[in-house]
Amino acid sequence: MAGAVVRAIGERSDAEVAGAFRESQQLPDSGEGIDVLIDFTSPEGAMAHARWCMENGVALVTGTTGLEESHQAAVDAASERVAVVQSPNMSVGVNLLFDLARRATGMLGEGADIEIVETHHRYKMDAPSGTAIRLGEVIAEVRETTLEQSGNFGREGMIGPRPPGEIGMMTLRGGDVVGEHTATFFLEGERVEITHRATDRAIFARGAVRAAVWAASRDPGAYAMADVLGS
């Protein structure tokens, strides 16, 4: 992702690389000359970068997933001092997927059985993906519930009939798949599938750089890609 972000910045005339570093390397002593930090690392890295951004008045764009409560708390704290754009997926297409899933959930009503399947390469660390979790959260919000209450992240044995309102979540891992997410809405006699397939990591990098340019001129606060895209 680091290389993809650098290349994406090179495609634009309104951004330039101020520096690049791994999360294990020492952060710069100050934020001088840096408007925005783009983070694609690990939960620990995201937490450290959020704290650095808050201390140095630098906006933050983070696409890191798998954050636990302590990591998220650092990102939330940073948003009180600087602009923070946080999204499990920076792709324009994925954010369209969220919107379409939101609309489909509302239109099809409680009678639809909803399942989410996500597929990624064999090296991905977290499961389900942050994108799949956000997709489930979007659907749950429309149904006025939460993913914690309605999500089913695994089935085995004599599970009995599917409970009404359940949101199923399945994770597949293998090969070199960049990322694929499908929300299926099962109805009597028909089903609707909404799928996004990523074939190039450049889409995430371009979205992140777009978010960085947008965040550079924004007031402190917590923002999502929907804000960047104006939806």
Pairing of strands 151-152, 167-173: parallel
Query: What residue ranges do the domains of the chain occupy?
Result: 2-86+201-229, 92-198
Looking up tokens 């997709």, which residue turns up?
Answer: 135
Domain 92-198: which topology? Dihydrodipicolinate Reductase; domain 2 (3.30.360)
Question: How much is the pLDDT for 79?
Answer: 98
- H/E stretch holding 52: helix 43-56
Question: How much is the pLDDT for 20?
Answer: 87
Question: How much is the pLDDT for 2?
Answer: 86
Question: How much is the pLDDT for 70?
Answer: 96
Question: How much is the pLDDT for 231?
Answer: 55
pTM: 0.78
Question: How much is the pLDDT for 201?
Answer: 87
Cα gap 168→185, rounded to integer Å: 11
Question: How much is the pLDDT for 24?
Answer: 65
Regions of the chain short of the pLDDT cut 70: 24, 231
Pairing of strands 113-120, 167-173: parallel
CB atoms within 10 A of CB 176: 8
Superfamily grouping for domain 2-86+201-229: NAD(P)-binding Rossmann-like Domain (3.40.50.720)
Alpha carbon 83 to chain centroid, angstroms: 17
Question: How much is the pLDDT for 62?
Answer: 97
Active-site residue list: 120, 124
Question: How much is the pLDDT for 1?
Answer: 85
